[in-house]
């Protein structure tokens, strides 16, 4: 048997088991040194950070909020193929498989070193993966090649394979358990009600046209759009959380969760929007955020002359830079938010705390899992997306979207076109609609909640049967109208009129 090597099926199995053992060992150690050190996640997170922005934009455009799932599945397929290939190349000698295990392990080491949220101990996880991968691969290979007694050798190999599979499963489970030790859900549950001392005014029933196809005015937390670079949601307990305010300040502050929640909390109804939102896109949502005015905290710290950037950092190392003049505006209503729609922030939306700045796109303002606020200059530090082709200043652009009729739908009878418009922080003055390049008609607006929230619109159309194109454009309180020119989201937000083709029966 030794001259022919192992069979194809056995060779493939050895490759797969070697990779499984490596991943499981890495996951086990990551459970102790930090969940994001798990090699699979660390490589995925690093791939996200290093990916060219064109690829990331493509992923968001194509897969929307499933982009991360697609990345993980893609990685799994690549790994499986590599494992099988390495196994097949190693039918006679374990050398090719050993090389693959080392290369994958080093990839994991590189990724762990690149994670800003991991200390030096983070490399222990991929090192464990590398060692386990090499040892298990070579051990199984030797068993499969046993030249002395082929029958007994086969039995020993099967036992060893079973033991490897069981051991890998167990290690992965223990790693998962150890990683879950930081019980963030329990911490969130223990926060209880965050009662605002000054609640937001109630949203009037006429604030949306949900019965006619617009979104509800307040977006339920489960439906709130989610955009971030985190493959695994950072798990920070409220008890362990602290926010440091430093840099160009008169006095540094360190605020703990209890310090903040004991203050007079304010509630503000705010619409958030992502710069990646295409014309007509879904990355916009509205919530009642509860928290502490960001301005108050910055004034307590005392912002020094010359600081033009508020540089915020998340627990996982992501960063954003906001203009100091904007976050200090009295009427802006920027928050260090702790709660959202009557609950502590959901984990995916930044528990324990995040920033929300009305009128700025999320990538320059809305840091989730925020742990650090540095007063600095735009010269000195660059936020995460700036080196990836996005602009330094990114105020939200005036925009409108058509929700009904739906794209390419067929409608009969009376046509009611509805949609949303936004122009934070001034508010929407007017929405106009036209059909088939006809005259613009002014739409009816829903009751206004405040300038930092979206506004719904509706217009009744009387149209002959056949195909029609409806277009909309909004105008803000300062008098600027949504321009017709179509611009892509990069570098500072899409522009253009939304247009929808539909048919009247």
Total site size for ligand MTE, rule CB under 6 A: 19
CB-based burial label for 182 (10 Å; 0-12, 13-18, 19+): middle
* Residue 455 contact partner, candidates ligand MTE, Mo ion, none, CB within 5 to 8 A by sort of partner: none
390's contact among Mo ion, ligand MTE, none, with CB below 5 to 8 A by partner kind, is none
CB 388 within 8 A of CB 419: no
Distance (Å, whole) CA 368 – CA 317: 11
Neighbour-count burial for 215-225, b at 16+ CB within 10 Å, e otherwise: bebbbebeebb
CB closer to Mo ion out of 214 and 276: 276
Interface with ligand MTE includes 286 (CB under 6 A)? Answer: no
Q: Is the peptide bond preceding residue 78 cis, with omega within 30 degrees of 0?
A: no
Residue whose CB is nearest to ligand MTE in the complex, by number: 362
Q: Which of Mo ion, ligand MTE, none binds 429 (CB below 5-8 Å, type-dependent)?
A: none
The DSSP symbol for 495 reads B
SS (H, E, C) 185-231: HHHHHHHCCCCCCECCCCCCHHHCCHHHCCCCCCCCHHHCCCCCCCC
Nearer to ligand MTE, 154 or 226 (CB): 226
Among 46, 314, 424, 475, which residue interacts with ligand MTE (rule: CB under 6 A)? 314
Binding-site partner at residue 133 among ligand MTE, Mo ion, none, CB < 5 to 8 Å by type: none
For residue 228, the minimal CB distance to ligand MTE (Å) is 3
Among 225, 351, 454, 457, binds ligand MTE (CB under 6 A): 225
Count the alpha carbons within 13 Å of 4 in the hemisphere toward its beta carbon: 8
Contact with ligand MTE (CB under 6 A) among 61, 114, 154, 226: 226
Residues 355-394 that bind ligand MTE (CB under 6 A): 362-363, 366-369
Q: Is 228 in the site for ligand MTE (CB under 6 A)?
A: yes
**Minimum distance, C-beta of residue 373 to Mo ion, in the bound complex (Å):** 19
**392: closest CA among 476, 308, 314, 294?**
308
* Helical segments of 6-94, H only: 8-33, 39-50, 53-63, 67-89
Give every CB contact of residue 272 below 8 A, 6+ residues apart in sequence.
225, 284, 285, 286, 287, 356, 362, 366
| 117 part of the interface to ligand MTE, by CB under 6 A | no
Between β-strands 284-293 and 335-340, what pairing exists: parallel, antiparallel or unpaired?
Answer: antiparallel
Q: Which does 226 bind (CB under 5 to 8 A by kind): Mo ion, ligand MTE, none?
A: ligand MTE
- Minimum separation from the CB atom of position 286 to ligand MTE (A): 11
Give residue 44's Cα distance to chain centre. 13
Give the separation between CA 228 and CA 166, rounded to whole angstroms.
35
Instruction: Select 94 or 317, whichever has its Cβ closest to ligand MTE.
Output: 317
Residue 454 in contact with ligand MTE, rule: CB under 6 A: no
Residues 240-279 that bind ligand MTE (CB under 6 A): 272, 274
Nearer to Mo ion, 29 or 335 (CB): 335
Q: Are 330 and 276 in contact (CB under 8 A)?
A: no
Binding site partner of 454, from ligand MTE, Mo ion, none, Cβ cut-off 5-8 A by kind: none
Residues that bind Mo ion (CB under 5 A): 227, 274, 362-363
Q: Provide the minimum distance between the beta carbon of 227 and Mo ion in the complex, in angstroms, as a whole number.
A: 4
User: Toward ligand MTE, which CB reaches closer, 67 or 146?
Assistant: 67
Write down the least CB distance from residue 485 to ligand MTE, Å: 23
| Binding stretches for ligand MTE (CB under 6 A) | 224-230, 272, 274, 314, 316, 318, 349, 362-363, 366-369
């Amino acid at each position: 048997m030794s001259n022919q090597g192992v069979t194809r099926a056995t060779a493939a199995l050895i490759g797969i088991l070697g990779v499984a053992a490596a991943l499981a060992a890495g996951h086990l150690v990551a459970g102790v040194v930090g969940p994001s050190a798990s090699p699979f996640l660390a490589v995925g997170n690093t791939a996200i950070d290093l990916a060219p922005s064109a690829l990331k934009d493509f992923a968001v455009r194509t897969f929307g909020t499933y982009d991360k799932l697609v990345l993980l599945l893609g990685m799994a397929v690549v790994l499986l193929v590599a494992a099988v290939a390495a196994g097949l190349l190693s039918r006679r000698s374990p050398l090719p498989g050993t090389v693959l295990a080392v290369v994958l392990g080093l990839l994991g080491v590189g990724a762990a070193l690149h994670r800003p949220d991991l200390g030096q101990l983070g490399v222990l996880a991929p090192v464990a993966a590398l060692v386990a991968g090499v040892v298990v691969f070579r051990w199984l290979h030797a068993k499969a090649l046993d030249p002395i007694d082929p029958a007994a050798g086969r039995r020993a190999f099967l036992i060893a394979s079973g033991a490897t599979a069981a051991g890998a499963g167990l290690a992965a489970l223990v790693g998962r358990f150890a990683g879950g030790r930081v019980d963030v859900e329990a911490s969130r549950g223990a926060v209880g009600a965050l009662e605002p001392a000054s609640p937001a005014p109630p949203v009037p029933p006429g604030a949306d046209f949900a019965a006619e196809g617009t979104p509800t005015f307040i977006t339920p937390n489960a439906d709130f759009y989610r955009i971030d670079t985190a493959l695994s949601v950072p798990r920070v307990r409220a008890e362990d959380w602290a926010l440091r305010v430093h840099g160009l300040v008169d006095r540094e502050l360190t605020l703990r969760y209890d310090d903040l929640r004991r203050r007079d909390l304010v509630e503000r109804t705010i619409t958030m929007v992502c710069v990646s939102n295409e014309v007509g896109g879904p990355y916009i949502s509205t919530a009642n955020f509860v928290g502490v005015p960001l301005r108050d905290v910055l004034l307590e710290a005392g912002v020094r002359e010359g600081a033009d950037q508020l540089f915020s950092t998340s627990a996982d190392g992501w960063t954003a830079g906001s203009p100091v003049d904007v976050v200090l505006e009295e009427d802006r209503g920027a928050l260090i938010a702790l709660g959202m729609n009557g609950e502590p922030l959901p984990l995916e939306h930044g528990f324990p705390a995040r920033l929300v700045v009305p009128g700025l796109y999320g990538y320059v303002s809305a840091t989730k899992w925020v742990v650090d606020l540095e007063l600095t200059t735009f010269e000195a530090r660059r936020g995460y997306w700036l080196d990836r082709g996005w602009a330094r200043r990114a105020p939200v652009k005036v925009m409108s979207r058509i929700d009904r009729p739906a794209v390419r739908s067929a409608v009969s009878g009376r046509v009611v076109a509805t949609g949303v418009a936004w122009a934070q922080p001034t508010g929407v003055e007017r929405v106009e609609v036209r059909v088939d390049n006809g005259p613009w008609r002014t739409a009816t607006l829903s009751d206004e909640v405040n300038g930092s929230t979206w506004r719904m619109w509706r217009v009744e159309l009387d149209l002959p049967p056949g195909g029609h194109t409806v277009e909309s454009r909004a105008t803000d309180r300062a008098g600027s109208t949504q321009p017709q020119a179509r611009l892509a989201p990069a570098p500072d937000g899409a522009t253009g009129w939304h247009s929808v083709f539909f048919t009247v029966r």
